[in-house]
Amino acid sequence: MMTKNPLVIATRQSALALWQANMIQDLINSLPAFNDFETKLLPMVSTGDIKLDTVLAKVGGKGLFTYELEQALKAKQAQIAVHSLKDVPMIPEEQFFYTYNARHYHEDLAVFPAGSPYKSLADLPAGAVVGTASVRRKALLAYFYPHLKTKLLRGNVNTRLAKLNDAEQGYDAIILARAGLDRLGFLADLQVEILSPEQGWVSAPGQGIVAVQWDDNQEVSAYSEFLNDPVNALLTNIERGVARLLGGSCSLPLGVYAHFVNKDGEQVLTSAITEEFNRLRHQLQAQAYQEYHPTTPQVLTQIWQDKIRNSAQIQDFVMGLQLEQIHVHVFVGDLEAQKTIRQTYTFDFAGHSLVNLDSPTLLTQVLQFVQMIASDIESKGFAQITSLLAQQLS
């Protein structure tokens, strides 16, 4: 029997990180293109898991949850790393690139302690205490709920929930990502309020997306396309593109959320597109493998992409979605709600197709759109916000 190539997956050790790494491992194991690989998880501890006493913006933020995993990639102890995209720095080191997966939920939630008489942030009495370590969430609280106080809350999701339910810690509510709670199976048992971006509570760029990090110096990177989800990649590149042009770091209270809108002007949830779209794409991937194995990953990618473009089933599915526009919600705030910017931007998707997301015309238009958003935000007083923030964070 032939020995298989190792495909070691670096991950943090929190319950959420392991869930996400397992999801990617299962996906890889289900794809014939990876038949010659043997997957294994490499759980690691990151600086962000140890330094728990400060606001994320102050410990530098940059690469706090990714640095150690990147070292494992560079040392070839691991072939890929799995991250919450939200934790990945906006400007990666040159040798690394990412593919994107799975956005089931994008929103933040307010979570209330078991038995709390309150069901929404608006209901909480003046001076009630809300836990978060994120400057974006602090700025949103200051803007929408000025009657509330915030208090630092760090740690992984399990730790934060334990602190919420420990009365001595004094939290009346905490803010968490819906995606994380859903993945851990906690949603059903918790008293929560969904904070929706469409109503102004804009989530972090890339929130809810699982990112797979690849190392250009390792041969396995030729297989990256098989794991990419092109719909999530498009929306994510818009969100992160805006953040990057605004100097993107997690010390900026910035929310960006992009989604598709159909002919009737309704939001089409990304998960409602990607589940079926990827099922069909993966079927064709398996067919291409069957017909052309053994061949190189580059050739297989080409054949597979052609099959996708020529598939009547995929064409039908994509046409049925009637995607017309992409809406991008942006929030830029400061810690005392003195200079908040809120805006929604619209991209005309009608002449494009999900089957051709790598079309140079589309990519050029998207890039111009992202630049337009960033310069519009700048013209609305962005520089004043950042100088105000510098004072507030010092």
Ligand X SMILES: NCc1[nH]cc(CCC(=O)O)c1CC(=O)O
Q: Which residues are catalytic?
A: 87
Contacting residue, 46, 66, 150, 207, with ligand X by CB under 6 A? 207
Q: At what angle do helices 15-30 and 157-164 cross, to 10 degrees?
A: 140
Q: Is 174 in the site for ligand X (CB under 6 A)?
A: no
Q: Is 179 in the site for ligand X (CB under 6 A)?
A: yes
Nearer to ligand X, 81 or 300 (CB): 81
Contacting residue, 25, 66, 84, 251, with ligand X by CB under 6 A? 84
Nearer to ligand X, 82 or 176 (CB): 176
Q: How far is the CB of 82 from ligand X (least distance, A)?
A: 11
Q: Which stretch binds ligand X (CB under 6 A): 68-76, 176-184, 309-317, 368-376?
A: 176-184
Sequential DSSP letters for 318-353: HHHH-EEEEEEEEEE--TTSSS-EEEEEEEE-TT--
Nearer to ligand X, 101 or 340 (CB): 101
Contacting residue, 131, 208, 230, 253, with ligand X by CB under 6 A? 208
Nearer to ligand X, 16 or 303 (CB): 16
Q: Which stretch binds ligand X (CB under 6 A): 35-43, 83-91, 165-173, 215-223?
A: 83-91
Q: How far is the CB of 211 from ligand X (least distance, A)?
A: 9
The structure tokens listed for 275 are: 């589940």
Q: How far is the CB of 205 from ligand X (least distance, A)?
A: 10
Residue pair 202/157 in contact (Cβ under 8 Å)? The answer is no
Q: How far is the CB of 207 from ligand X (least distance, A)?
A: 4
How far apart (Å, rounded) are the C-alpha atoms in residues 137 and 373? 21
Residue 390 CA, chain-centre distance (Å), reads 26
How far apart (Å, rounded) are the C-alpha atoms in residues 127 and 142? 12
Contacting residue, 90, 157, 161, 258, with ligand X by CB under 6 A? 157
Q: Is 253 in the site for ligand X (CB under 6 A)?
A: no
Sequential DSSP letters for 268-317: E-HHHHHHHHHHHHHHHHHHHHHHH-S--HHHHHHHHHHHHHH-HHHHHH
Q: Which stretch binds ligand X (CB under 6 A): 177-185, 266-274, 296-304, 325-333?
A: 177-185
How far apart (Å, rounded) are the C-alpha atoms in residues 62 and 10? 18
Nearer to ligand X, 102 or 284 (CB): 102
Residue pair 341/295 in contact (Cβ under 8 Å)? The answer is no
Which of 131, 187, 195 has its CA nearest to residue 163?
Answer: 131
Residue listed under structure tokens 């339910």: 165
Q: Which residues bind ligand X (CB under 6 A)?
A: 84, 86-87, 157, 176-177, 179-180, 207-208
